[in-house]
Structure 1
């Protein structure tokens, strides 16, 4: 897998799959989740509701991943994953890495050749950006399956600069 760091809006990328940093309800929310649902249209929400009714009545567990249509987005699929909330007290890094590896596995099952990730848990869920980048890189590097092309989409020049610094330190 090749990894590229890019700054931008994940909802505009023409890749096979984009990853949604979803909440466990799968019914939309703020941040990346809200942007994907708004731009993708009602088709995404309809499939998420069907998933809640059939397999995820209690919501999608943290670290797991599931795919839906991408609706009106330029991608083919949206892979929804629920990142852990950062507490600073509990060691939840493995759950954050699971978001990436499970999303990559779902993308592989779908036959996706390209995937774009937001920086999971680094927004509303409070994960420190530098460590969120580090966890993403470890998970992507250690993944045994996934698309050929992986993009880590960073919202803002400041976050991109931090990500580049973390990569250069490795």
Structure 2
């Protein structure tokens, strides 16, 4: 009989410890989710990715401008030199523009995926602005108030006639 009570107490203790571990791990998972969805982390990651892509685009744009400048300089001042269209790096510029657009699109769709899968509540979504939400709600309430005021004015005018 003594062993049954000790075994029962041990099982209860194991259950308590297991529940404590699961509740702590669930809490940690919720904290990790909040960390992943925090605006500063996602904003920084987006800034780094888009910034690196934009850097390549700017370099290619500068190469394009200087290539055109070099071509025009040769055309104007170099009568004995033959014209070389390949000195204008248009292909590099178009590749970097395409790369920038593809990376921006991938980041956009990744954020949509994160918002739809991880952020169940609207307020947890990346890009959620509570002030904008309040302004929209106030704007809607103002429209309703204006409609009621118009209705009251019309009623007063019909009573006065």
Q: TM-score range with shorter-chain normalisation?
A: under 0.3
Q: Larger relative contact order (C-alpha < 8 A, sep ≥ 6)?
A: 1
Between Structure 1 and Structure 2, which shows a larger proportion of helix residues? 2
Q: State TM-score, norm by structure 2.
A: 0.24
Q: State TM-score, norm by structure 1.
A: 0.23
Looking at CA atoms only, which structure, 1 or 2, has the larger radius of gyration? 2
Between Structure 1 and Structure 2, which shows a larger proportion of strand residues? 1
